[in-house]
A and B are shown apart, each in its own frame.
Chain A
Amino acid sequence: MSSEQKNNSSHHDLNSMSDALAHLWNRIPLTFKIMLWYSLFLGVLIISMSVFYYNYINSSDAAEIRNRLQQQTLVMSTNMRKFTPYQEGTFFLVYTQDGVILKGYIPDSFPNQSNLSLGQVSELEANGVTFYYYDVPISTADYKGFLRAITSQKVTDKRANTIYALVLVSVIALLISSVGGYLFVKQGLKPLRKLTQTARIIARNNDLSRRIELPDIAKDEVYELTTTFNRMLSGLENSSNREKQFNSDVSHELRTPISIIQAESEYGLKYAKTPEEMREGMTHIFEQAKFMSSLVSQLLDVARLENSYELDIAPVDVTSLLNNMVHHYRRLCADKNITIKSSISDNLTILGHEISLRRAVSNLIDNAVKFTHSTIEITAKQNNFYLVIEITDDGIGIEEEHLKQIFNRMYQTEQSRNKKSNHGIGLGLYFVDKVVHLHHGTIVANSKPNVFTTFTITLPLQDVPERDSIDLL
């Protein structure tokens, strides 16, 4: 392994270590992180305050000691006859100018050699004890020398108690704040855990009907998150229900023709004897197969439309499109006693998707042909910035209670799907509605039962801002 590689690998090790640390950190629950963070800060704060307080007390003590020492020494020096080697925590000793101790004792661990400290109190550290000493020159009949007073700064009981109390209170405060904070955070984040649990249950059971319990008191962020989550669940549930309904409708629509085909073939195989009987069965089978095929192609149309978020658009000559359709339907209805009136303005052009527009309009005309008694009227004109297409028939009409729902997928006014009376499966108007919305237009149905039904499509003529694509709404 070359050194470069080694370098790289050590670099790599470092990286992976920091990765591992980051990973570890990410794995710590948020509650602990928060607790850890402010406990750390609080700890640092308490420790620094303690140190500061300790130092403050120390220094104020030191000043007091110095004063007392000096005073004691001066008092003693003026009255050497009453010399005592030890007095109130202070050692006194007398020594000659040569440093020979005449009276008194040096306290343990105080160095034998030390500088004179005349005029000011000196501080000296030895063996971890702080000593203060002060020298005063004295002269008596017998000798000339110095009086030295030595005292050590001992931790006094009072000070110790204060510090112990301080530490104790700090630790308790730290404990209370950590545990309390932990509980608060935990309590506050409880809905989040519920959120997680609910999401898990929904994922496991595929049950979108569940909702997360709202935290009852505070309208905080968690509350907002919960309501948002619930709203999203409602939306999902609705769309999933619509999807389920659609699937069940489709399967229902397919069951009847399949039943007929199956029954006809079963009967034919078992009992049909004459070719005529067979032919009748075949006719029914063929009819049902055609019905199923048209159902499937309609479903595909709708599915394609629902999956297309963009349609290729181009200018559509609505005038000629409608005129062609009127011509086509007049021919279709020639032997049906149905009159198709039309009033279509010239030069109507919009930007749109011609194939889906044509299909939408023909769905409406198909419906009109199905339900009309005698007359269908098709009009198209410009109204300000809109193109308005109206298709009216004088048929059975639509009850008001159904008007709102007729654009829903698979909606039919009669619960029973009797193909004989309505010939449809409820996808036609849904398709029209989708197409109109893709063109940023609106569609409205008006009806008076047994008098008329009018479908009015309004499409914008002006360019809308995003013209390259039409968003699916």
Chain B
Amino acid sequence: MKVLLVEDEEMLNGITAKYLRAENMTVDTCFNGQQTIEYANTSSYDVIVMDIMMPVVDGLTALEQIRNEGNTTPILLLTAKDSLDDKVTGLNTGADDYLVKPFDLEELTARIYALARRNTRHAQNDIKVGPLTINVPQRTVKRDGETLSLTAKEFDLLYYLASNENIVLSRQQILDHVWEYDYESYSNLIDVYIKELRKKVDTDKHVKLIQTVRGVGYVLRTEE
């Protein structure tokens, strides 16, 4: 789960990001609307959490611009503005959810999951992909009822592949979506992780789920 957190109050930004990371999310942070637009354009997120009153470019303007560029990433406005007008304006500008400060981090987490779930058209937290059952909030994966033990990054990687089942993903796409923005990537990082993941998911199994598409990237294939 990769989240972009936009909040101009540094202390609040810091603690929220810390909490979401503790909840095993991949979090990019930025502090104004201009950065938000840049981040949203260059990377890919499951959910964007954004304040409205920000310097340089305010949240609503950034929101509008992101939507104008055809980006449909779920966006949650996290703001101190609590009037009905503000909420309606925010939602009408293109936000998917609205949370008023002060907020419960637990509620924020649940809403982020809910938005991600809605976006991938899953009705429940349990996602079934072929023989896999993935529960994102609990971060558990079962293959044919047998629990796999994955690291946080391996889980994120598998979840991303599973969310795009039967769609070939490039290494760059995977990097953008699973790793944080400023991650110093090296060429075979993804390959290393894929190899580890295969060990845990596909070893001793007749059907190999994670497949390499030569010259392009990887795919989680559930149909021939």
Is the CB–CB distance between B55 and A259 below 8 Å?
A: no
State whether the Cβ of A172 lies closer than 8 Å to any Cβ in chain B: no
For residues 278 through 326 of chain A, which have their beta carbon under 8 Å from a beta carbon of chain B? 281, 284, 287-288
Q: Which of B10, B11, B53, B83 contacts A417 (CB 8 A)?
A: B53
Q: Is A418 part of the contact surface with B, judged by Cβ < 8 Å?
A: yes
Contact B8 A284 (CB under 8 A): no
Q: Does A271 contact B (CB under 8 A)?
A: yes
Residue B167 lies at the interface, judged by CB distance under 8 Å to chain A: no
Any chain A CB within 8 A of the CB of B18? yes
Q: When the two chains form their complex, are residues B19 and A271 in contact, meaning their CB atoms are under 8 A apart?
A: yes
Q: Are A256 and B106 in contact (CB under 8 A)?
A: no
Docked-complex contact B80 and A260, CB < 8 angstroms = no
A contact residues, total (Cβ < 8 Å): 28
Cβ 8 A contact of A418, one of B9, B81, B100, B103: B9
B104 at the A interface (CB under 8 A): yes
Kindly identify which residue among A255, A270, A417 contacts B22, using a CB–CB cutoff of 8 Å.
Answer: A270
Among A256, A263, A420, contact of B19 (Cβ-Cβ < 8 Å)? A263
Give the complex CA separation of A419 and B102 in angstroms: 17
State whether A258 touches B102 (Cβ < 8 A).
yes
Min Cβ gap A255→B in Å is: 4
B123-169: which residues lie under 8 A (CB-CB) from chain A? none
Whether the pair A267, B22 counts as a contact (CB closer than 8 A) is yes
Contact B104 A252 (CB under 8 A): no
CA distance A260 to B101 in the complex (A): 9
B105 at the A/B interface (Cβ < 8 Å)?
yes
- Contact partners of B105 in chain A: CB under 8 A: 262-263, 266-267
Given A255-B101, A419-B9, A284 contacting B15 (CB threshold 8 A): yes
Residue B82, interface by CB 8 Å: yes
Question: Is A337 among interface residues, defined by CB-CB distance under 8 A?
Answer: no
Q: Which residues of B sit under 8 angstroms from A416, Cβ to Cβ? A: 8, 32, 53-55, 58
What are the 9 tightest A-B residue pairs by CB atom distance, in nearest-first order?
A255-B80, A259-B102, A258-B102, A259-B101, A271-B22, A255-B101, A416-B55, A263-B15, A252-B80
Given the interface pairs A266-B19, A415-B55, A416-B53, the reply to whether A260 lies near B103 with Cβ below 8 Å is no
Interface: B84 (CB within 8 A): no
* A271: chain B residues within 8 A (beta carbon): 18-19, 22
Is B82 within 8 A of A267, CB to CB? no
A264 at the interface (CB under 8 A from B): yes
When the two chains form their complex, are residues B58 and A262 in contact, meaning their CB atoms are under 8 A apart?
A: no
Report Cα–Cα, A270/B21, bound state, in Å.
Answer: 13
> Can you list 30 contacts pairing A with B, beta carbon distance less than 8 Å?
A251-B82, A252-B80, A252-B81, A255-B100, A256-B9, A256-B12, A256-B101, A258-B101, A259-B12, A259-B80, A259-B101, A260-B11, A261-B102, A263-B12, A263-B102, A264-B15, A266-B19, A267-B18, A270-B22, A271-B18, A271-B19, A281-B15, A284-B11, A284-B15, A288-B11, A415-B53, A416-B32, A417-B53, A418-B9, A419-B9
Asked if A466 is at the interface of the complex by the 8 Å CB criterion, the answer is no
- Min distance, Cβ A249 to any Cβ of chain B, angstroms: 10
Query: Is A414 among interface residues, defined by CB-CB distance under 8 A?
Result: yes
Question: Which residues of chain B are within 8 angstroms of A418 by Cβ–Cβ distance?
Answer: 8-9, 55
Asked if residues A255 and B10 are in contact (CB atoms below 8 Å), the reply is: no
Q: In chain B, residues 46-67, which have Cβ atoms closer than 8 Å to a Cβ of chain A?
A: 53-55, 58
Is B16 an interface residue when CB atoms closer than 8 A count as contact?
yes
Residues from chain A with Cβ under 8 Å of B8 in the complex: 416, 418
Contacts A251-B82, A415-B55 given; does A260 touch B19 at CB 8 Å: no
Which chain A residues (214-260) contact chain B, with CB distance < 8 Å? 248, 251-252, 255-256, 258-260
Chain B residue numbers with a CB within 8 Å of A266 are 19, 104-106
A contacts with B: majority SS: helix
Instruction: Give Cα distance in the complex from A248 to B81, angstroms.
Output: 8
From known contacts A252-B81, A416-B8, infer whether A262 and B102 are also in contact, taking CB-CB under 8 Å. Answer: yes
Q: Are B9 and A260 in contact (CB under 8 A)?
A: yes
Main secondary structure of the interface of B (DSSP, over half): loop
- Are B15 and A267 neighbours in the complex by a CB distance under 8 Å? yes
Expressed in whole angstroms, the Cα–Cα distance for A281 and B15 within the complex equals: 8
Report the minimal beta-carbon distance from B5 to chain A, rounded to whole angstroms.
12
**Residues of chain B in range 62-103 having any CB-CB distance to chain A below 8 Å:** 80-83, 100-103
What distance in Å separates the Cβ of B99 from its nearest Cβ neighbour in chain A?
10
Chain A residue at smallest Cβ distance from B86: A248
- Contact indicator B53/A262 (Cβ below 8 Å): no
B9, B16, B19, B81 interface centre (most CB from chain A within 10 Å) = B9
Q: Report which residue of A261, A281, A418, A420 has the largest number of chain B beta carbons within 10 angstroms of its beta carbon.
A: A418
Task: Name the residue in A248, A284, A287, A416 with the highest tally of chain B Cβ atoms < 10 Å from its Cβ.
Answer: A416
Q: How far is the CB of A189 from chain B (nearest CB, A)?
A: 39
Residue ID in chain B nearest A414 by CB atoms: B55
Mask, B1-33, CB within 8 Å of A = 1, is 000000011111001101100100000000010
Give CA–CA (A223, B143) in the complex, Å: 83
Separation of A418 and B55 alpha carbons in the complex (Å): 8
Q: A262-B104, A284-B15 are in contact. List 14 more A-B contacts (CB 8 A).
A: A255-B80, A255-B82, A256-B101, A258-B102, A263-B15, A263-B16, A263-B105, A266-B105, A415-B55, A415-B58, A416-B55, A416-B58, A417-B9, A420-B10
A residues within 8 A CB of B81? 252
Residue of B nearest to A420 (CB): B10
Contact with B along A419-430 (1 / 0, CB 8 A): 111000000000
Within 8 A of B (CB), among A398-427: 414-421
- Bound CA–CA A252/B10 (angstroms): 17
Q: A415: which B residues are within 8 A, CB to CB?
A: 53, 55, 58
Residues of B within 8 A of A414 (CB): 55
Q: How far is the CB of A246 from chain B (nearest CB, A)?
A: 14
Residues on B with beta carbons closer than 8 Å to the beta carbon of A284: 11, 15
B80 to chain A: closest residue by CB: A255
* CB nearest to B15 among chain A residues: A263
Q: What A residues does B16 contact at CB under 8 A?
A: 263
